[in-house]
Structure formats: structure tokens, C-alpha cells
Chain A
Amino acid sequence: QQQVKQSPQSLIVQKGGISIINCAYENTAFDYFPWYQQFPGKGPALLIAIRPDVSEKKEGRFTISFNKSAKQFSLHIMDSQPGDSATYFCAASDTGTASKLTFGTGTRLQVTL
């Protein structure tokens, strides 16, 4: 059972544009929602994370929007740059159960010049 669904699978955005990646979850016990960025041959690196008590969190060019009633959250990358080209994973965990992260299937982002 896939508990975190991520879309789109791939995304091409022009430099300076906005990249939007969406995730939906099923488990209402999830209370921690991080986004990870992964470059080829590297481990995932934490970008930004949110908890359900806020609807939006912004760090630099990265913003998470969170909709608890719809059980959805999204990552917005403003002013996308070629260096942002990577695979992005949303994840979720129930911090009451050892913080096991359940990951989405990933979005491969390509930012073109």
C-alpha cells in the first residue's frame, strides 16, 4: 500500500520559473512532512519540512504548502535554477512510531536555460 503519492513523475521548467510538486497522503497519524533533494549518486538531503499546525512554511526559494483537510502538501521552488535539477522526494512520518519515513516515488526536475 503506497501511503504517499507524488506527482508529477517528471517536470521540466525554464530558468526563473516556478516548479510545483504535489504529494498526497492517506495515514492521518502522519505529523511530520519533509522534502528531500537527491542528486545522482548521492544520498537525499533535507530541503524543508513542515508540521500540520501550520499551512505554509517558506525557506528562501522553497515553500511548502500544507492542506490538512485534503491530506495534501506541495513544494514550490521559486525562481528555479539549473542547479535545482535533481530528484525531489516528499516524505511523511508519524513521530510516535520511531519516525519511520514513508517516501513518495520522486519527481525528476529539469530546469532548462
Chain B
Amino acid sequence: ETGVTQSPTHLIKTRGQQVTLRCSSQSGHNTVSWYQQALGQGPQFIFQYYREEENGRGNFPPRFSGLQFPNYSSELNVNALELDDSALYLCASSLVGASSTDTQYFGPGTRLTVL
């Protein structure tokens, strides 16, 4: 186990609704990255948060937004849900800084289904 936790484990929403996913990073880590993994595909980078600021973003529209809190936990918010947003959402924590190893440790994911 990586020590990265995510909630909820599963979620069903309807098109047009909004959703918030949560992630607690591994102890000692200061950075959280979010990825979207569609069925049968590799994870796609959404964005990363470092010191409560967005620190890099992938090719996702602005309706995907996030937050990082002082305890380094994070939220992913998706507005105006679309059917194609159905996927496994993964959170990965890492340590960025003088002791950085670049290793990202993934949580178990949240399975989002949009009907």
C-alpha cells in the first residue's frame, strides 16, 4: 500500500452534474497530481498541485479544477459532467524539493460513472 487514499471509491452521476473527488497524500509528500484513466487506456495527466498552487496542467478543459490544502490533501472538481468523463480518477503523491525522487505513488482511484 502506498499510503495514498482516495474517496469515494465509486460514484455515479448524471450528465450536467458536478462532482468532487478527494485525495490524501502519503505522509511527508508535498505534491499531488491527478490523472484520468479511461477504460483500457493509460492514465492521462490532468494537473498537479504544489504548495497549494496549480503547477502544471494537461490537456483538460477549465471545468476540471482542483485545490490543495495546507495538509497537502487535494480535491478534484469536475463541473458540467459529460458522458466521456466516465473513468477511473487517480491521485498520485510525490515529494518535490531538495529531497525529490520524482517518484509518484498512486492511490486506488475513484471510479466515476456518468449516466
Q: Give how many A residues have a beta carbon under 8 Å from the other chain's beta carbons.
A: 25
**Which residues from A are CB-within-8-Å of B2?**
43, 45
Residues of A contacting B92 with CB < 8 Å?
101
Q: List A residues 97-113 near B (Cβ within 8 Å).
A: 97-106
A17 contacts chain B at the CB level, 8 A cutoff: no
Pairs A–B under 8 Å by Cβ, sample size 14 = A32-B102, A43-B106, A43-B108, A45-B106, A46-B103, A89-B43, A98-B33, A98-B55, A98-B96, A100-B48, A101-B35, A104-B42, A105-B41, A105-B42
Name the residue among B4, B43, B100 with the largest chain A CB count within 10 angstroms. Answer: B43
Contacts of A43 in B (CB 8 A): 2, 4, 90, 106-109
Interface size class of B (residues with CB under 8 A): 20 to 34
**Residues of chain A contacted by B8 (CB below 8 angstroms):** none
Contact: B43 with A103, CB < 8 Å?
A: yes
Complex contact B103–A34 (CB within 8 A): yes
